[in-house]
Structure 1
Amino acid sequence: MSRTNNQHTGYAKLIDYWSPPPDAGEPIGCIATTYTFSPVFFEEDCLSRFLRMESDPDNDGSVFLVEREEKMSSVQCISVLVDQHHCKGARNLRWDIIPSRIPKAIMHAKISVLCWSNCVRVIVGSANLTEQGYRMNQEIFGSLDFHGGSDIPMAVLKSILDFLKEMVDRCTNSPDQPEVSRWHNFLTDIGKRTRNWGRIEPYRGGRDVRIHPLLLGSGKPDLFDQVRNYWNQASSRPPDYAWITSPFFDSPDSPNIPAKKIWEVLNQRGAASVCYYVHAEDNKDKKQLIVSAPKSLLESAPNQRSSVDIRFARVIECFDTKEIKTIRPLHMKSIWLQNDEWALYVIGSSNFTASGTGVGSTTNFEANIIYMASRTQNRAAVNMFEKSSLSKDYLAIDEYTVWDRQANEDEPDSECPALLPSVFGYAIYGRMSIWYRLSDSISVLKTYRRAFPYRRKRERKSFMTKENG
């Protein structure tokens, strides 16, 4: 478990985890999921490390291109599942980009599976595959290495591989696409390669760090139910405290179900506390504090309980390094729970929203990891968890505080281009034609027509246009 900064223990550069560990062997393939995406960053920064590229795109020019072509042609699969609105940019056709389209929800999980001949690394976190996510934002991620003799339960890897297969099927309406078949075949091959790796026996006692996947999607238990289930396997008493980090929350006019559900996880009698780590600013002219969160968080405490409290802390986002001020925006998502016996840390892609935690009318595809450690028998692990926490200042909330929630990244973006309906599947481009794959539900096609192909400079083009009215 790491944060994207390497100043001290618990912090690391996420991009370094695309490089193979010692004795990993030859690269076999990799797949990833992301909400926003930069193909150039993926090719030049991520893939170059995964493939052990020796040349540099900025200094070696054509040498880099030749080496990249040779390296990519030698692997089984390179594929990225991306939200449909962010499948943009030029790329090398040696690897696949699969658009994700889910009605009324989004594919928001950030998973990378890197497979070498002797090691499979799974990275789950909050960062998108962009330069902003990997080099600017304050993010969090967990890296799990599976190999012969690995102590991480094989059930964790299997759950993630199955989840990735389910996601690509749900996010595409054309399961016979070649790139979808390559995705499935590669994941099946990883399962075969690793079936004798990792831990088989269940967790017992408090000496081990317990690792569990927390995966969300339609039909799966919500985040709070999964957290409660794993907590009850370790502790006989509920947690007393919760610390929640999220850059985004539900709108002020929503019922804010997550803010109420967290209290159902905590101790129902006696003291209990929730603290939210948020973005906040000071309006010095008006002497006001502006908190980027809805006021409903403050109003969510259970009624008729005097021994509970809600606090807010401002995440530090401005850093002075070598006389230069650097802004590192908050994009990390996490939930920390604890009592006197245990600490549980959820990290990953889930914002503290109804769709991000699975308690709303729609559920995003989200991926998280749970780390658990005994506070009495494994204090060293708990200390490691704590070292990945953010720098913060506790806020004094009063009647003059302004509650100004940031626009949720889960919400539709009005600037995104209009897309064809889901009835349109994939297109195959030939020298003289374009083949369109359509689903069986073609009633929507009545509002579309196919324009006649035309020739220009020996090129033949065809396209779809929408009729007026």
Structure 2
Amino acid sequence: MSSSSKSTSADCKLMDRLVPDESHGRLVGLLGTTYELQPEFFETDFLPTLFGLGAWDDRSWSSRIALEKKLSELEAATLLMDAHPYRARPRSLRIEVQPVCMPGGASLHAKVLVGVYEKAIRVILGSANLTEPGYRRNREVVAVLTASEDRPGEVRLVREVIEQFRDRLQPWQSASVSRVYELADELLADWPIASALRQEWFVWSGGGETPLWQQFLSHWPDGEPAGQITIVSPFWSAEHTLGPLAAFLSELRRRNSLADAAELRLLTCAEPETADTFLPKLPESFASFDSASLGVAATALAVDPRVTSEEIDPGLGFLGQRSLHAKVVLVEGPETSLAYFGSANFTRRGWGFMSAPNLEAGLILRRTGADRTGLQGLIPRTTGAPVSLNGSAHGRIAAAEPNPEASAWPRFVQDVRLVPSSSDLSRLELVIQVDTDTEIGGWCITHTDDEAPDTPLFEKTLDRPVEREVRISLTPQQLERILREQEVCVRWSECETGRNVPVNVALDARAELPLCPGAITPAELHLIAYYQGQVAWEDLYPEPAQPEEEDETKATDTDELFGVDTSRIQSYLIREFVEALSGIRDDLARAALAPPQCMRLALLGQVSPVTLARHVLKAVQDGERTPTAAGFQLVEILACLESARHTEVTDKYQDNWAALVTDATGRVQEVLTQLTRQYADDLPESFGVYVETIRNHWRLQEIAK
């Protein structure tokens, strides 16, 4: 890993590292873990930067539509986070959010983001949560790894990230997670692995047999004395003869790898003492901790929270202080330096000094010779004189606050998901996955703002057994409300007020989602205008009217928006439709060169020939179109799809394109069949001959090409 792969938010470059590289192609899959998640930051800052949309913190409707379009083009996107700090999910249901409840009081504490592009895989891992402080304000340490056919140096590390992700988080492997693995595996299978001597290792700790501290020290050369150990951590466990430091140093001594009178430096958060001075913040036990009992000379230092002019662009206007959130361990000997940085605080759970460790992720780097100096860049600047930990540090260190108790979480509810109905694939049902081994007594699921619901969505009573999968049929009103709220509330005896849990959507049901709650499905005129090139894709979704504007909006006819004489709507529409046919073919030709999800949107989504065909049939059913005119339109749409079968397609996606075109053709054919059955008496006898003539015409043209 090159030194440029390491970034800290202290130099305000972390967000810059999210900006996409055009040579990587489109982002097609996203998979991440985080302890905390700020949905607003994730949607208005992180994702726009990741997609290259710009407009930091832009909350406008047009920006949201642009973001939803990008998300709808992803094959899959999943975030896994620790359940206890969960407060809300992102507004887009195209992002799967899975709260993870670890056993034994442990936490999902790893911070890893995997972005799969058409031609590359990027991994962002380190100490930063998916929050605004994590990516813009704290002092963090993060690595950005990029693997591609042209960059084999980091292929091995990226492969390890994917393999260990799959192994450690297997219980939460949804279809969306599996799809990201598949996308990554397809790329990694064709890329060479650099054969250079290994100096870096990805390590995912917790949930395995070997704790992090043992994995880390296994890479230290036996017999080389470690003369200086620097530990950077914002959180610590109480220290005593059986504490984390004692265990860590004892292992080095057992390996004959601890120098006499070795120096131990503990870098921690700064507590203001005066306007210009700070004290290091540690658990109270460190005030009486005598490091000499462990054979080392230990000091505590406060990491300087002040921001220097070199750290930040003055134009951003950030004048505050930076809280320490980086986690680093650096061991230095005469010949070797060994470093860890990642998500693990130097605590009993973080580094695995107890039986139920957190799930953590990080990198281990080993350097020798002149390359060792680069690891010093991981250590942040300190302020004030070192405080000797010699048993009498009272008054010279500040006591750290105790960790707050974890809030209750319904661990018996494993997943809440909208899935296609088994009886009608166009309808959605709510499916609850229940862990019957931990399920307790009575509980219920309600809408999120029902303080005293009379009719919960589901209720489990004491005398009612429950299956592992509960399927709930939804009324249109219930479904609309769930799509708007995007959460349901679980109430049980331990938490009668309830906890909101996120609702996710099955991959095969996302085509039925509105672009976003409140967005109006584009009308036929809008689709025609889009295919004619008169309006941009984003303009098809105007901002919903505010309540005081509703009456005025209802009085505004779609035709009036386009300046159309409604008395001549059919003749106008047919003429405009004919002029849009070349645009339909061009739009499909562009989609054929894109990844499969973009193909799917162009063929089956809300802006597609299938949706246009459904609008045409509805116009007949509403008495606004003659069956003959509608039949003409549907046949021409089928001809466009027939033409699309023979358009140029990216080699690796040819099977995807063929299957999707067949699917779209079948759906439009169903609409045409419905028209001919319902309005057989209104169609001329020659209509069937016309249909075959048009189809044969396009087939012959494509053969000629």
Deviation at 1:423, TM superposition (A): 2.2
Contact 2:305 2:323 in 1 (8 A): yes
In structure 2, give the amino acid aligned to 1:220: E
Describe the superposition over 1:95-128 as per-residue Cα deviations: whole angstroms up to 9, x where unpaired: 1111111122110000011122222111111010
Describe the superposition over 1:182-238 as per-residue Cα deviations: whole angstroms up to 9, x where unpaired: 11221132022123335342517xxxxx21112201223122211222223xx7524
Structure ranking higher in strand proportion = 1
Percent identity of paired positions between Structure 1 and Structure 2: 21
Contact 1:289 1:401 in 2 (8 A): no
Shifted more, 47-56 versus 74-83: the winner is 47-56
Deviation at 1:385, TM superposition (A): 2.5
Report the equivalent of 1:466.
Answer: 492
Describe the superposition over 1:43-75 as per-residue Cα deviations: whole angstroms up to 9, x where unpaired: 22222122222666638x333233222221212
In structure 1, give the amino acid aligned to 2:156: A
Contact 2:233 2:268 in 1 (8 A): yes
Report the secondary structure of 1:156's partner residue: helix
Describe the superposition over 1:161-186 as per-residue Cα deviations: whole angstroms up to 9, x where unpaired: 1222234334x4xx5xxxx1111221
The structure-2 alpha-carbon separation of the partners of 1:448 and 1:75, relative to structure 1 and needing over 3 Å to count, comes to: closer
Deviation at 1:458, TM superposition (A): 8.5
Within the alignment, does 1:427 sit opposite 2:453 as a pair? no
Report the equivalent of 2:85.
Answer: 86
Q: Which runs of 5+ in 1 are unaligned?
A: 7-11, 205-209
Report the secondary structure of 1:50's partner residue: helix
Contact 1:245 1:277 in 2 (8 A): yes
Report the secondary structure of 2:189's partner residue: coil
Structure ranking higher in helix proportion = 2
Give TM-score, length-normalised by structure 2.
0.56
Within the alignment, does 1:239 sit opposite 2:226 as a pair? yes
Report the equivalent of 2:67.
Answer: 68
Of 446, 455, 462, 2:441 maps to 446
The structure-2 alpha-carbon separation of the partners of 1:187 and 1:288, relative to structure 1 and needing over 3 Å to count, comes to: closer
Report the equivalent of 1:96.
Answer: 96
Report the secondary structure of 2:80's partner residue: strand
CA distance in 2 between partners of 1:426 and 1:396 (Å): 49
Report the equivalent of 1:25.
Answer: 25
The structure-2 alpha-carbon separation of the partners of 1:120 and 1:391, relative to structure 1 and needing over 3 Å to count, comes to: same
Describe the superposition over 1:291-315 as per-residue Cα deviations: whole angstroms up to 9, x where unpaired: 434444873646484xx31122221
Report the equivalent of 1:335.
Answer: 329
Contact 2:76 2:176 in 1 (8 A): yes
Report the equivalent of 1:58.
Answer: 58
Report the equivalent of 2:140.
Answer: 139
CA distance in 2 between partners of 1:111 and 1:120 (Å): 13
Q: CA RMSD in A?
A: 3.4
CA distance in 2 between partners of 1:324 and 1:39 (Å): 22
Of 238, 247, 257, 1:251 maps to 238
CA distance in 2 between partners of 1:324 and 1:150 (Å): 36
Deviation at 1:27, TM superposition (A): 1.4
In structure 1, give the amino acid aligned to 2:149: G
Within the alignment, does 1:187 sit opposite 2:181 as a pair? yes
Deviation at 1:333, TM superposition (A): 0.5
Contact 1:345 1:371 in 2 (8 A): yes
The structure-2 alpha-carbon separation of the partners of 1:392 and 1:190, relative to structure 1 and needing over 3 Å to count, comes to: same
Greater relative CO (CA pairs within 8 A, separation 6+): 1
Describe the superposition over 1:307-327 as per-residue Cα deviations: whole angstroms up to 9, x where unpaired: x31122221012365798521
In the TM superposition, what are the counterparts of 1:198-213 in structure 2 within 5 Å? 198-201=192-195, 203=197, 210-213=199-202
Deviation at 1:418, TM superposition (A): 2.6
Deviation at 1:34, TM superposition (A): 0.5
Shifted more, 80-89 versus 119-128: the winner is 80-89
In the TM superposition, what are the counterparts of 1:62-461 in structure 2 within 5 Å? 62-89=61-88, 90-103=90-103, 104-170=105-171, 172=172, 180-201=174-195, 203=197, 210-232=199-221, 237-251=224-238, 255-265=242-252, 267-281=257-271, 283=273, 291-296=281-286, 299=289, 301=291, 303=293, 305=295, 308-319=296-307, 326-374=320-368, 376=369, 379=370, 381-393=371-383, 394-397=385-388, 398-407=392-401, 411=403, 413-414=404-405, 417-420=407-410, 422-428=411-417, 434-441=430-437, 444-448=439-443, 453=455, 459=477
In structure 1, give the amino acid aligned to 2:26: E
Contact 1:243 1:274 in 2 (8 A): yes
The structure-2 alpha-carbon separation of the partners of 1:395 and 1:195, relative to structure 1 and needing over 3 Å to count, comes to: same
The structure-2 alpha-carbon separation of the partners of 1:258 and 1:70, relative to structure 1 and needing over 3 Å to count, comes to: same
CA distance in 1 between partners of 2:209 and 2:92 (Å): 36
Count of equivalent residues: 435
CA distance in 2 between partners of 1:438 and 1:366 (Å): 26
In structure 1, give the amino acid aligned to 2:7: S
The structure-2 alpha-carbon separation of the partners of 1:436 and 1:383, relative to structure 1 and needing over 3 Å to count, comes to: same
Contact 1:81 1:168 in 2 (8 A): no
CA distance in 1 between partners of 2:242 and 2:416 (Å): 42
Describe the superposition over 1:410-462 as per-residue Cα deviations: whole angstroms up to 9, x where unpaired: x5x34x64322x222223458897543222326x433446876279x995599
Deviation at 1:253, TM superposition (A): 7.6
Shifted more, 144-153 versus 33-42: the winner is 144-153
Contact 1:140 1:348 in 2 (8 A): yes
Describe the superposition over 1:17-41 as per-residue Cα deviations: whole angstroms up to 9, x where unpaired: 2212351122112211100101221
Report the secondary structure of 1:277's partner residue: strand
The structure-2 alpha-carbon separation of the partners of 1:155 and 1:288, relative to structure 1 and needing over 3 Å to count, comes to: closer
CA distance in 1 between partners of 2:83 and 2:213 (Å): 28
Report the equivalent of 2:550.
Answer: none
Contact 1:41 1:131 in 2 (8 A): yes
